[in-house]
Structure 1
Amino acid sequence: MDMSQHDLHTLFAQLGLDNDEQAIRQFVSQHKLPANTAIQDAPFWNQAQASFLRESLKQDAEWCEVIDELNTLLH
């Protein structure tokens, strides 16, 4: 069982992005999504990032809550 912490900081690290507080705020302010665009379909992800998001959501993985949190921030 995966006992690691799942929060925005670890999600950003998992996605290969800078994960300090300022970097997260900057990312969110620069990457807004239209209401009809799913987070995993956002044009700013590379293929690996989009696949991770898609598979995590599909499998209802432990990352889902924090992915939903990021989704809310981006919309």
Structure 2
Amino acid sequence: MEKPVHHFSELFEQLGLASDPDSIERFIQRNAPLPETMPLAEAPCWNEGQAEFLKEAVDEDADWAEVVDHLDASMHKAQ
């Protein structure tokens, strides 16, 4: 059985954040770049539930892992 493909905007919806392209861009601009050694789930911009979701998605290679990796790359890139 194939894993469902989740879109970037769906991840933001899952995290309880605004998911339109402008809001996503503003969120990343406001919170990035993260220090190179900081795991995404430890960023100060997440509440406890959001951080746990992001950590579990990667640790368990869940359906969300690919899009969480995309967010991780976006949050760590230099601006």
- Tell me whether the two structures share a fold, i.e. TM-score over 0.5: yes
1:50 aligns with 2:51: yes
Q: TM-score, normalization: structure 1?
A: 0.92
Which ranges of structure 2 fall in alignment gaps of 5 or more residues?
none
How do 1:18-37 residues align onto structure 2 when only pairs under 5 Å count?
A: 18-32=18-32, 33-37=34-38
Aligned equivalents of 1:14, 1:4: Cα separation in 2 = 14
Q: TM-score, normalization: structure 2?
A: 0.87
Which ranges of structure 1 fall in alignment gaps of 5 or more residues?
none
Question: Aligned partner of 1:55: which letter?
Answer: E
Question: Matched residue of 2:55: which SS?
Answer: helix
Once superposed, which parts of structure 1, at least 4 consecutive aligned residues long, lie more than 4 Å away? 1-5
Question: Aligned partner of 1:71: which letter?
Answer: D
Tell me the number of residue pairs that the alignment of Structure 1 and Structure 2 aligns. Answer: 75
Name which of structure 1's ranges 1-10 and 36-45 shifts more when overlaid on structure 2.
1-10
Aligned equivalents of 1:50, 1:2: Cα separation in 2 = 26
Identity rate of aligned residues, in percent?
Answer: 40
CA shift digits 1:31-61 (9 cap, x unpaired)? 1111010101111100000010111111100
